[in-house]
């Protein structure tokens, strides 16, 4: 099959591309190459890389004509909540306008291709569109109402509505997926787990927002990528939720990472001694969790890695790549002094 993957230099997108190429598919990667892009994550793979923004309609239309895709897996997005609070306009442009541009180009391609019934447009979203959960509330499912809390989640909610509207109004074979927090190799250094590992190794303070009791469900990125590829066979209009049923408080997660580091890279003191509570994030959602029954029932997907195994693999990968994608220039200077 022929796939367009948007945001293929990103954390999840690169995992999707690696799996597609390993299975013998043709892949076209549309990526703007922002700060979050990491071309090394797909280095050496036979991928057609197109460096353009998803808001660039001529470039997007040209890509559809060149790729003649059987499916689109749309991952390109601005995703960091803190950045959305400081500068929301980039999130509205990329996540809303960009998704609109892609849907229009996909619709033109699909209509010119005699409305191929096998074509799929998989729009990849987040559980953050649902807002947050109380400690005893049931987890989100495909029927949960949207109540986004941050500019980031609001922009993703808007793009979800666009994908569904293009399916309902024009018949474009779209479906929406919502996932829990992902983790694993190649994640951008600003995210929680890479930050914890980096700070721990540098001997620096490991920051914990608020009281550390915010709860997330953690899904290994390769499991999510596999689910997104399987989603290309789902019925148009479907909503698929990907989760691992592995809820942990942020504090418990960080302590688990410290315990792995204590075992595989021991030092004189425990890494947990470096924990430091910092001022909480604005509008910080208290808890996320999803019911993945829809993905299990509709495409037969289940996660393969436990959180314990996945965390160990992730820590080992980052420790092996300390001189590469984990550290920025300031980090390397600090590591050289330790």
Average pLDDT over residues 293-298: 96
pLDDT at 331 over 60: no
pTM value surpassing 0.75 = yes
pLDDT at 329 over 70: no
d(CA 247, CA 244): 8
Share of the chain above pLDDT 90, in %: 87
Domains of the chain: 2-180+221-242 (3.40.50.720)
Average pLDDT over residues 128-142: 93
* pLDDT tens track for 258-293: 999 999 999 999 999 999 999 988 878 899 999 999
Q: Which of 152, 220, 271, 318 is catalytic?
A: 152
Average pLDDT over residues 291-310: 97
Q: What pLDDT sits at residue 228? A: 98
Q: Which of 31, 78, 97, 128 is catalytic?
A: 128
Is 170 a catalytic site residue?
A: no
Four-CA torsion 101, 106, 108, 114, nearest 10 degrees: -170
Q: What pLDDT sits at residue 330? A: 47
pLDDT band at 323 (very low <50, low <70, confident <90, very high): low
pLDDT band at 307 (very low <50, low <70, confident <90, very high): very high
Is 318 a catalytic site residue?
A: no
d(CA 47, CA 1): 13
Q: What pLDDT sits at residue 281? A: 84
pLDDT at 10 over 70: yes
Q: Which of 31, 78, 127, 291 is catalytic?
A: 127
Is 152 a catalytic site residue?
A: yes
Q: What pLDDT sits at residue 131? A: 93
* pLDDT tens track for 30-89: 999 998 899 999 999 999 999 999 999 999 999 999 999 999 999 999 988 889 999 999
């Amino acid at each position: 099959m022929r796939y367009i993957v948007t945001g293929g230099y990103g954390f999840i997108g690169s995992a999707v591309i690696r799996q597609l190429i390993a299975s013998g598919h043709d892949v076209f990667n549309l990526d703007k190459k922002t700060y979050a892009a990491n071309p090394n994550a797909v280095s050496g793979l036979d991928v057609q890389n197109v460096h353009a923004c998803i808001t660039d309609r001529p470039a997007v239309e040209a890509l559809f004509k060149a790729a003649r895709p059987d499916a689109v897996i749309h991952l390109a997005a601005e995703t960091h909540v803190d950045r959305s609070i400081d500068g929301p306009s980039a999130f509205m442009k990329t996540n809303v306008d960009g998704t609109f541009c892609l849907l229009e180009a996909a619709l033109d391609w699909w209509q010119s291709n005699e409305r191929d019934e096998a074509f799929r447009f998989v729009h990849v979203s987040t559980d953050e569109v649902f807002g947050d959960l109380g400690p005893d509330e049931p987890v989100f499912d495909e029927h949960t109402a949207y109540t986004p809390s941050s500019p980031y989640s609001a922009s993703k909610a808007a793009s979800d509505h666009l994908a569904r509207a293009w399916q309902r109004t024009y018949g474009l074979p779209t479906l929406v997926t919502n996932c829990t927090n992902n983790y694993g190799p190649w994640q951008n250094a600003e995210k929680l787990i890479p930050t914890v590992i980096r700070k721990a190794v540098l001997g620096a303070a490991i920051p914990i927002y608020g009281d550390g009791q915010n709860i997330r469900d953690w899904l290994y990125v390769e499991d999510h990528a596999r689910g997104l590829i399987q989603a290309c066979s789902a019925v148009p209009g479907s909503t698929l939720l990907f989760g691992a049923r592995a809820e942990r408080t942020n504090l418990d997660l960080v302590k688990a990472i410290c315990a792995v580091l204590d075992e595989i890279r021991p030092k004189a003191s425990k890494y947990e001694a470096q924990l430091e509570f910092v001022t909480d994030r604005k509008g910080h959602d208290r808890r996320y969790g999803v019911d993945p029954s829809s993905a299990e029932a509709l495409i037969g997907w289940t996660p393969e890695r436990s959180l314990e195994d996945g965390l160990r693999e992730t820590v080992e990968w980052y420790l092996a790549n300390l001189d590469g994608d984990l550290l920025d220039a300031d980090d390397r200077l600090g590591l050289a002094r330790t």
